[in-house]
Homo-oligomer: A and B are copies of this chain.
Amino acid sequence: MPDVHIAEVGPRDGLQNLAHEFSVAERIDLINRLLGAGPALVEAVSFVNERRVPRMAGAEQILREIERPGDVTIAGLVLNGRGVHRALECDLDEIRFAVSATDAFNIRNVNATVQATVAEFTAAVAPSRASGKKLTAVVAVAFGCPFAGPVPAAAVLAVAAQLVDAGADELILADTIGCAVPTQIRSLISALRENWPELPLGLHLHNTRNTGYLNAIVGVEAGATTLDASVGGLGGCPFAPNATGNIATEDLAYILRNMGVSTGVDLESLIGTSEWLGSVIPQEISGQVARAGLFPEIASHDPAQRA
């Protein structure tokens, strides 16, 4: 099995809906702690309308003030051309551009059809390349849509083809509502792998129905090399009981470590950040390894964990 790149999305996806409102200073603190654990990538900010999503305000300040180690990719999420414009002005390595697989979701999310957003993505390719930034396409609701219901694989592949042909450097499929099962994951990842053998593929998974860790490992075995995860399994809305968080970074890292898959993350550091978060936010974190403990435990100076 290939090495896996863990993309830590807690500072972005995790904080949007929490009961506790993080200040910019707390978000910088969180990002610095996460950078210290050594994931491949930290999705640090979101360039969305600050009036619509006030919790994501201050992206520019955050990117100026975080302590950047050289070896972790710093990414920001965008949903449209305005977001791309802001991201291009910032010191970051990767722009992650989300496009929904269904009009129903895309219109609710950004007030635009899928095709209108695909056009904005296409327009972002040249300036991203000119500025030396990687441009990743994220296909939201790729396995099911809360408004349109089941999403045919053909529809996802059609949008994916447009984004890849336009110039996406990586493609990530998002199970936004946490409904996917392994047969769907394998079918889509295999089809993408067949169409574009060299294209890096990733998965963004929510654990809403206890399928997230299952789909993560199935996806890696089918060819995905990037897995989004959020420290503590952060995310979900306290006012919407059927929205829950991403898979927890530390639980994912535990599974991969015990399977012998290298990720480069420092599990003890992640668990420390998860425990710190548990002391900051009012609700219980959904990650379970921090509570249950590692098995087997890490020896005090286990070089494999620092590799």
The answer to whether the Cβ of A127 comes within 8 Å of any Cβ in the partner chain is no
Q: Which residues of B contact A214 (CB under 8 A)?
A: 213-214, 217, 255
- CB distance A295 to B213 under 8 Å? no
The answer to whether the Cβ of A94 comes within 8 Å of any Cβ in the partner chain is no
Task: Give chain A's interface residue range (CB within 8 Å of chain B).
Answer: 35 or more
Q: Give the residues from 177 to 226 in chain A that come closer than 8 angstroms, CB to CB, to chain B.
A: 177-179, 181-184, 207-211, 213-214, 217-218
The answer to whether the Cβ of A70 comes within 8 Å of any Cβ in the partner chain is no
- CB distance B292 to A149 under 8 Å? no
- CB distance B241 to A209 under 8 Å? no
Give a binary string over A233-262; 1 marks a CB under 8 Å from any B CB, 0 the rest: 000000001101001100100110011100
Q: Which residues of B contact A150 (CB under 8 A)?
A: 296
**How many angstroms from the CA of A101 to the CA of B177 in the assembled complex?**
40
Min CB–CB distance A66 → chain B (angstroms) = 29
A-B contact pairs, 30 of them (CB 8 A): A144-B295, A144-B296, A177-B295, A179-B258, A179-B295, A182-B217, A182-B255, A183-B258, A183-B259, A183-B260, A184-B258, A207-B210, A209-B255, A209-B292, A209-B295, A210-B213, A210-B248, A210-B288, A211-B213, A211-B255, A213-B213, A213-B214, A214-B214, A214-B217, A214-B255, A241-B292, A242-B292, A242-B293, A244-B288, A244-B292
